[in-house]
Amino acid sequence: MDSNTDRAKSLVSIMKLKRFFRVSLLILASLLVVISVFAQFGLKMRKSDKEVLETFRIANVPLEFRTVGTGDNVVHYAVTGSDTLPTLLFVHGSPGSWDAFEGYLLDADLRKKFRIISLDRPGFGYSNFGEARSLKENTALCYQVYQAEYMGKPIHIIGHSIGGPVVLDLAQTHSVAFASISILAGSISGKYEAPEKWRLPFVAVPLRFLVPGALRVSNDEIWMFKKELAGLDSGYGNLQIPVYFIHGDADPLVPVGNAYFGMEKLEGSGLGHIEIIEGANHFIPWKHFDLIKKHLLQL
């Protein structure tokens, strides 16, 4: 009798344990679905045009949003200032959007001297959000902004972080189009970039669908860019304009060796200029705004 009772209790315990695991798996699956749905629609890291226009209206700064391209090849960007002035064209890092440089578009001193444009790189902001593009595709699509906005005045291009290789490739590919390039904490050399193999699982299905919004685009494009950086090494001979490298020596995300590498590649050309900011991290466009502004006013 005791044996049968014990056996019955064991069976009940096993059934409860199985039920627990089934419920737990169901809860886990439901959570993954919720996270996946949030990942598809959340964390876009962009402001609405309407919200930004109100900010600029209050500051009494005229601002216009424009787009170039069609279908899946649209680039959205913000413009302030007269097209009779030279232009500063900003290219943001990863993730990000045009408003990373909002403070520069609002700056009165810069607007006296320049028309200022800041764009959403492909896959970010309102430039076909969600679809990462390769370095070469970034270059081709961003060049559309130059083609639409060139009015016979010099255009200086400025790229931060992964925007660095984009502006470098733009200048290498279109050697006489721009007046200068400024690379702020630019990730331009595979020699100094960590492999970051941990990114690979999040590039592939199904894990990529658990990475939210702009972070998924960022992970996808960084994985692609790292394979393409070596292609820039042979293009420095095409450059015919000043190249400014500004980098912090305490940058934990993009090693300062990138800036020194760029200077090495330009050695003897007279085109390379470098400024290393002591103790600065990766976020120099904002933490060292005055220094970057001073540099831009001297262009």
Do residues 135 and 225 both lie within one domain? yes
Give the CATH number for residue 215.
3.40.50.1820
Residue 103 pLDDT exceeds 90:
yes
Residue 195 is encoded by which pair of tokens? 């492999």
pTM exceeds cut of 0.95: no
How do residues 278-299 score in pLDDT, each as one tens digit? 999 999 999 999 999 999 999 9
Average pLDDT, the chain: 88
Residue 229 is encoded by which pair of tokens? 């950086």
pLDDT of residue 288: 98
What contacts 102, CB < 8 A, 6 or more positions away? Answer: 52, 55, 118
Largest CA distance in the chain: 100
Do residues 171 and 57 both lie within one domain? yes
Do residues 257 and 293 both lie within one domain? yes
Do residues 81 and 4 both lie within one domain? no
Long-range contacts of 76-79 (CB under 8 A, 24+ apart): 76/119, 76/120, 76/125, 76/126, 76/127, 77/117, 77/118, 77/119, 77/120, 77/145, 78/52, 78/105, 78/117, 78/118, 78/119, 79/115, 79/116, 79/117, 79/149
Residue 287 is encoded by which pair of tokens? 């933490």
Cα separation of 222 and 232, whole Å?
15
Do residues 37 and 83 both lie within one domain? no
Nearest alpha-carbon partner for 201 in 223, 227, 228 = 223
Could you please report the per-residue DSSP string of 31-86? HHHHHHHHHHHS------HHHHHHHHHHTT---EEEEES-TT--EEEEEES-TTS-
Question: Strand, helix or coil at 293?
Answer: helix
Do residues 135 and 78 both lie within one domain? yes
What contacts 284, CB < 8 A, 6 or more positions away? Answer: 160, 184, 185, 246, 247, 248, 277, 291, 292
How do residues 22-32 score in pLDDT, each as one tens digit? 544 444 433 33
Residue 186 — pLDDT band, cuts 50, 70, 90? very high
Do residues 3 and 128 both lie within one domain? no
Do residues 96 and 228 both lie within one domain? yes
Do residues 206 and 240 both lie within one domain? yes
Q: How many independent structural domains does the chain possess?
A: 2
Do residues 85 and 18 both lie within one domain? no
Tell me the residue range of the domain where 26 lies: 1-41
Do residues 106 and 34 both lie within one domain? no
| Amino acid occupying residue 211 | V
Do residues 85 and 10 both lie within one domain? no
